[in-house]
Structure formats: structure tokens, C-alpha cells
Structure 1
């Protein structure tokens, strides 16, 4: 099972997004700073590392608040799990240093512009929870089920 972590980084009522390209996508899209949690790494530590690598932003464990989790399943098998946090950062200086080479840019956006850009994302397990959080600030547990290669169903429950 793959594990991922991401951060909605905020500064001065703006949200940091990164321009990210995955092999499976037809082009680069604006995304939250996020990525794989390494073996032996906690989701919180993975989120902090990914935020630093992809956007050059710094957050501490204490600054992160878990706002949603996502589980992706297919045919009853769990494919991935992710933990997504929100954090206010003190220094807004952006700098991409992505060792994977998939992130090419980082920028600050108003929440409205972030919603517009994230709405273009072709992968619902990333886009749908982020959009829901930016619209409502509701904390949730998301479950996405993949049937075939592109047919998704999902549900959310409150995160307690």
C-alpha cells in the first residue's frame, strides 16, 4: 500500500500550490505540496518534508493540523492512504527543490483561485477533498473506490 501526505500551506489569506506533472497525467497541474511518505517516516514528517522539497516552505509538527484522510480502494484492496494537513507558515518565500523533478513551480493563490486550479486536477482523490476543505473547512475521512481505470465513487465522513 502506498502512503502519501500533503499540506494546505497558508500565508496572508493565500494558499501555496505547486505545478506538478505525473506520468499518468496529460500535462502539469497545480496541486497541493504533497508526495509519498517514505518507509519509517510518519505522515506528519512526510508532509513537512514534502512541503519543504516542493515549495521551500517550513512547518513544524505543532503547526500542522490534520484536516482529512483519504483511502483509495479497488476490488476491496486498499491501494493507498493519505494524510492531509493545514498549516500557517511564517516565511512565504517559495523555492522548488523537488528531488523527483515533477514539480516545476510554486506560487501563492487566493483560495478562490486555488479552487479554480485544483478543480482542473484529473485525480479525484487529490482534488475532491482539497476542494471540499477549501469550500467548507470541514475535517473529513474520505474513501475513494476505483472501478475500472477511470470510474470513481467516493464518500466522506466527519473526521473525529
Structure 2
């Protein structure tokens, strides 16, 4: 099972997004800074590392607030879990240092523009919770997504 962590980084009412190449989807998409939690790493530590690598933004794990969790299931088994946090950053300067080389750019967006861009992502387990949080601001939700063939349900 894969484990992932992501961050809604905020500065002065804006939200940081990264434009990342997704070979599986045939095009780049805007997303929250996020990625796989490495062996021996807590989800919060993974979120801090991914935020730093993909955007250059620096925060402490102690400053993160867990706002939602996601679990995906396919063929009757759990395939991934993710933890997603929100944090306010003090320094808005971007400095991408993505070891995967997939992040093309980073930018600050109004929550409404971030919702529009995230809504274009073809992967509901990422897009739906992020759009919901940015639209409604409710913390603590546990999301469950089930893949049946080519269709997602939640």
C-alpha cells in the first residue's frame, strides 16, 4: 500500500499550487504540493519534505494542521492512504528543487482559481477533497474512494 502526504500552503489569502507533469494522464496539471511518504518518515515529515522539494516553501511539521485523510480501494483492497495538511507560510518565495524533475512551475492562486485548476485534475482522490476543503473549509474529513473498473465512487 502506498502512503502519500500533501499540503495546502497559504500566504496572504492565496494558495500555493505546483504544475506537474503526469505521464499517466498525458499532460501537466496543477496540484497541491504532495507526494509519497518515504520509509521511516511520518506523514507530517513527508508533507514538509514534499512542500520543500516541489515549491521551496519551508515550514515545520509542528505548524501543520491535518485537514483530511484519504483512502483508495481497488479490487477489494486498500491501495493507498494520504494525509493532507494546511499551513500558513512566512516566506512566499518559490525555489523548486524536485528530485523527480516533474514539477514545472509553482504559483500563488486565489482559493477560487485554485479550485478551478484542481477541478481539472483527472484523479478524484486528489481533486475532490482539495476542492471540497478550499470551497467549504471543513477539517477532519475522512474520504474513501473506490475504483471499479475505470470509474471512481466516493
Tell me by how many angstroms 1:34 deviates. Answer: 0.1
Give the aligned partner of residue 122 of structure 1: 122
The 3-state SS of whatever aligns with 1:112 is helix
The 3-state SS of whatever aligns with 1:62 is helix
Give the aligned partner of residue 63 of structure 2: 63
What is the CA–CA distance in structure 2 between the aligned matches of 1:103 and 1:42, rounded to whole Å? 23
TM-score by length of 1: 0.94
Tell me by how many angstroms 1:58 deviates. Answer: 0.8
After superposition, the C-alpha distances for 1:4-24 in whole angstroms (9 at most, x for unaligned) are 000000000000000011221
Matching of residues 6-45 of structure 1 within 5 Å: 6-45=6-45
Give the aligned partner of residue 146 of structure 1: 147
Q: List alignment gaps of at least 5 residues for structure 1.
A: 155-160
After superposition, the C-alpha distances for 1:21-52 in whole angstroms (9 at most, x for unaligned) are 12211200000000000011000000000000
Q: List alignment gaps of at least 5 residues for structure 2.
A: none
Give the aligned partner of residue 50 of structure 1: 50
What is the CA–CA distance in structure 2 between the aligned matches of 1:2 and 1:116, rounded to whole Å? 27
* Count of residue pairs the alignment pairs up: 153
Matching of residues 82-97 of structure 1 within 5 Å: 82-97=82-97
TM-score by length of 2: 0.98
RMSD: 0.6
